[in-house]
Amino acid sequence: MNKAKPTVLKIGGSVITDKNGELEARTDVIDRLAGEIERAAIKRLVVIHGGGSFGHTKAQQYGIKDGLKDPSQLAKFAETHHVMTVLNGLLMDSLIWHNVPAVSVTPSSVIMTKEGRITTFDETVMRKLLEMKMTPVMYGDAVLDSEIGFTILSGDQLTATLATLLEAERIVIGVDVDGLFDGDPKAEKTTKLFEHLTVDELRKLQGKLGKSTACDVTGGMFGKMAELLYAVERGIPATIVNASEPDNVYLALRGERVRGTTIGEK
């Protein structure tokens, strides 16, 4: 593989879907983000997106994450994966419309987990796409699991694993808040944004603020960071920005100054 290190962009499911509706995509946001990706013109880029009201809703409804318990769930697993391909298709449509050479690499076709953790990952095609300067796109997906039959692979675990595997230059994470705060910015007004955190500072804050998703005072953000830690501990810096606001993803991809939280070097 060519030496140039790829950038990994993760777009949160809550950015591109409406969590209040079922199977409601924000096609205007998808189109704006595809445009920002086009303008940023990053030669080696991997895009990963979450499931939002597509994947999460179905997965929860059918208990896919906890594995196969009843044969009637097989068709439900199939349906959960299928709705993710539909959401992915909307982003692919938009990226191709914007002339980005984006090729979807289906997570459930190349990845298997064991009790929810990635064990098999055939990244042959992924590497070849990057070498050819195309943009592989992956997503949180319903995947097969060697121990429990099937489960849900989060876009966050995928992002950290892939960034590490590909020795990414950096990770850009687009969410629906401005970054990491010392509280929940959606619930409180006096929360403070962390502009820069070292790996050590992130670890300490996680213990303090985000012990579990259930009692995470930061609205789930520090909980999500647990997955990301795997990559930043291995020297891959991450920038978290608000992708619901125009231009932030563009600026972060270009490495320009942008409101948000940077973790690790730089």
Positions touching a second copy (CB under 8 A) are 68, 71, 74-75, 77-79, 81-82, 85-86, 89, 92-93, 95-96, 99-106, 108-110, 112, 120, 122, 124-125, 128-129, 132-134, 144, 146, 149-150
* Residue 255 CB partners (closer than 8 Å, separation 6+): none
Nearer to a second copy, 60 or 198 (CB): 60
Closest distance between a second copy and the C-beta of residue 84, in Å? Answer: 11
Closest distance between a second copy and the C-beta of residue 214, in Å? Answer: 31
Nearer to a second copy, 103 or 229 (CB): 103
- The Cα 195–Cα 82 span in angstroms is 38
* Residue 258 CB partners (closer than 8 Å, separation 6+): 239, 241, 247, 248, 251, 252
Closest distance between a second copy and the C-beta of residue 90, in Å? Answer: 11
* Residue 66 CB partners (closer than 8 Å, separation 6+): 148, 151
Closest distance between a second copy and the C-beta of residue 60, in Å? Answer: 18
Nearer to a second copy, 103 or 205 (CB): 103
Two tokens at 136? Answer: 């592989």
Largest CA distance in the chain: 52
Closest distance between a second copy and the C-beta of residue 32, in Å? Answer: 19
* Residue 200 CB partners (closer than 8 Å, separation 6+): none
Helix (H) or strand (E) holding 47: strand 45-49
- The CA-to-CA distance between both ends of the chain, in Å, stands at 26
Nearer to a second copy, 127 or 203 (CB): 127
Q: How many CB atoms lie within 10 A of CB 167?
A: 13
Q: What are phi and psi of 206, to 5 degrees?
A: -60, -45
The SS3 assignment for 160 reads helix
Nearer to a second copy, 137 or 173 (CB): 137
- The Cα 51–Cα 194 span in angstroms is 26
Tell me, what amino acid is at 206? Q
Nearer to a second copy, 68 or 205 (CB): 68
Closest distance between a second copy and the C-beta of residue 236, in Å? Answer: 24
Nearer to a second copy, 44 or 224 (CB): 44
Closest distance between a second copy and the C-beta of residue 106, in Å? Answer: 4
- The Cα 102–Cα 115 span in angstroms is 31
